[in-house]
Chain A
């Protein structure tokens, strides 16, 4: 690319040109095209719609930044972005929704607290039992005692919990929220996602890279199953809405302006993340991370604590996903556990990252916004194309189309996302804006 800028003066020879910074043609062209696309959407769909799209794209950009540091910086593949996003959304809901007096005004919080205390006590007992061998109990007997004790105590605690949660559900609906500002929920959501990421990473990061993908895929489905079925905590399929915004809502400022204010918050968050990541990437820490990714063996030979660094980066990525998930949840003003889908919240983010340029923050943000625009626009397009195919089929050979055409048309988007992933991996494995590797020495 560095040759593509033609010098204006034909007699100019780049003899004393410093090789320091090339002119970022590719970046400018791509972001120019992106701007044009955004303007086109504004012109076609109106300001309110388009601003909503931009806010959502910005939230996705935070998710994508989380994935790009995991995959691009460190080569860790997280196949369960959805789970961390859902955790963020849950925390945003839990902290911002008004306090439910039907729950807090009764003896139920005490009951719930009692059961949770039982749980803690049971954990201590089991951990204690697993240390019995220090008192001279033979190893096998200790294991047997520990397992049996764990099973019985688990059954006791879980049946108590079921009782309490059923009572909460029948008497109070659900526990409600804490009535705090949404940003508290975002921060806690990031922390919670980071905590879950720590546990998963702790188990998997020393093992084959595939295992992390399997485990994250699993934890995402489990988080979703938990949120979906814990009606006492999340209202489950009944969903919770509205979620209060930290900024003035549409009722006060109108749709476009309120969304624009929200957008400015997300933009500030992205800018801060971007700046910090940029600093970290070029700091010794970032170099170490990349050294581990590119050559694990020699990095280990130089005495780097590989697993610790890996865990740091994985947790950091998960925190960003939780944060982004929280902002997305608040913006949608709806907490619907069933709305978290691997396609929308894992694979879409994956496409953003690998298409934009894994390891390149600017490329990732470009990928996030560009892919999100395509994604949003593809829905009406898919329906339109399907209608066209149906009318053609009916007209040409009397094809009797099935009646659930709309849901099938949306399946075509699954196909396209899958195709994009495989094609990008094969033909543009470094993405549209590849990570710039600077060689030292």
Chain B
């Protein structure tokens, strides 16, 4: 029984947490891809920037959340989303728009976004230093232990306060995005532009507005993803390339240009990671006595060590590119 609880804690909960974060990041990447047709390599650093804004604001006003009983970091999240959105629109105006106006190939925009990612990294680390910092400045991280009402289950299911917030915020963000894309005039115009940019323009849709809206959404979502990640563990300014690969893998697994596919892809990659580093020996332990004696199980039955976690999204990426470059779900290829 304890082994099952261990599995729930280390796979189900951990996988949902990572999956949610990847999903929110991947939605932004896939939206940018579908509107501007390039892989935005600066996305992970936009996430870091959002989390850093939360950290700054929380350090400035550490007690803002105590009066309403939520962590200050979450109170600051909407403001950080706004700032990140402004940053995203500004970056587009300053760096990507001139390149687009020259009619460059998408790959040049990719290189441009790598330049942007370095600038963001440099700026953030210049101000934050390179070490990790907790977003819980004045608050305490609550940890809930749910004891199972079964005999023999001594270990409780452990879930932390930020993880609960994370699930709620992910759900709200996904539902809000769904409503926006399917009910609002702007959201439909965004889907139209992703389908057929020339026709969107011929319908009178101002493509510059759509591009700006896309950056606002992508920036806001990046701030959410970065903050949730930093709340769950700590704020680290140097995650960039380690986040980028799973997020891109998620977007491609879901089929580039599909927001819902990106969500599914995020969870696929998140669970794949936790399943791959999980030590399966734990689950086999209860059956140890009934196993044949010649079978000597090694103590470590994980597929990859945690230090090789990055192999998992890469493997998924390569597998999907080899077998189904269009993604797991039916859809257009951009």
Q: Which residues of A contact B (CB under 8 A)?
A: 75, 77, 79, 151, 154-155, 158-159, 162-163, 203-204, 207-211, 213-215, 217-219, 221-222, 225-226, 228-229, 342-343, 347, 350, 354, 402, 404, 407-408, 411-422, 425-426, 429
Contacts and interface: CB of A to CB of B under 8 A. Distances in A.
Contacts, number: 156
B110 A77 contact: yes
B51 to A, nearest CB: 17
A76 to B, nearest CB: 8
Contacts of A207: 321, 325
Contact of B129 (A75, A228, A404, A418): A404
B129 A426 contact: no
A411 B248 contact: no
Contacts of A151: 303
B31 to A, nearest CB: 15
B117 to A, nearest CB: 7
A162 B106 CA distance: 43
A254 B97 CA distance: 54
Interface of B: 38-39, 41, 95, 98-99, 102, 104-108, 110-112, 114-123, 125-126, 129-130, 241-242, 244-245, 248, 252, 280, 298, 300-301, 303, 305, 307-308, 310-311, 313-314, 317-318, 321-322, 325, 334
A407 B321 contact: no
B320 to A, nearest CB: 10
Contacts of B118: 343, 347, 414-415, 417-418, 421
Given A79-B110, A225-B310, A425-B111, 6 more contacts: A75-B105, A221-B241, A414-B118, A418-B116, A418-B122, A425-B99
Given A209-B105, A342-B241, A79 B125 contact: no
B307 A229 contact: yes
B241 A426 contact: no
Contact of B110 (A213, A215, A402, A416): A213
Contact of B308 (A213, A226, A416): A226
Nearest to B321: A203
Contacts of A421: 111-112, 114-115, 118
B126 A222 contact: no
A413 B122 contact: yes
B321 A215 contact: yes
A214 B95 CA distance: 20
A42 B307 CA distance: 43
B313 A218 contact: yes
